[in-house]
């Protein structure tokens, strides 16, 4: 999806604002020649930035820190999901031992 599609989808976002987020690295679409291609994850990130700025009044200075911390949380959740999936494929005795060791 190109920038016009993102603007239409989010509704209350202006192109210059989204462009500034891309320039700051807060939203990272793929370069497609002279245009940017926004994937679903990029649209979700733009929505998150919009909500953080408007609803939670996160400042421009604080935004990189907030986004970095959220990225770390998402990465940890993915790692935990992979670990849980791997444990689910193990024999019941091993799963029980792991749960017991976890307390």
CATH architecture of 1-58: Orthogonal Bundle (1.10)
10 Å Cβ neighbour count for 66? 16
Structural element, H or E, at residue 46? helix 40-54
* Both tokens assigned to 73: 């949380």
Query: Is 0.85 topped by the overall pTM?
Result: no
Domain ranges of the chain: 1-58, 59-103
Q: CA–CA separation, 94 vs 103, rounded Å?
A: 14
Burial of 22 (0-12, 13-18, 19+ CB in 10 A): middle
Q: Are 6 and 41 in contact (CB under 8 A)?
A: no
* Both tokens assigned to 38: 């926004």
For the chain, what's the residue count? 103
Taking only the tens of pLDDT, the chain with its 103 residues reads 999 999 999 989 999 999 999 999 999 999 877 789 999 999 999 999 999 999 999 999 999 999 999 999 999 999 999 999 999 999 999 999 998 999 8
| Coil, strand or helix at 37 | strand
């Amino acid at each position: 999806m190109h920038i016009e599609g993102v603007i239409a989808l989010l509704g209350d976002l202006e192109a210059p604002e989204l462009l500034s987020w891309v320039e700051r690295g807060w939203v990272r679409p793929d370069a497609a020649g002279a245009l940017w291609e926004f994937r679903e994850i990029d649209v979700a990130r733009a929505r998150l930035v919009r909500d953080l700025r408007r609803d939670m009044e996160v400042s421009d200075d604080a935004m990189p820190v907030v986004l970095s911390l959220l990225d770390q949380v998402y990465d940890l959740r993915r790692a935990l999901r992979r670990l849980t999936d791997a444990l689910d494929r193990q024999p019941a005795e091993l799963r029980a031992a792991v749960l017991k060791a976890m307390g």
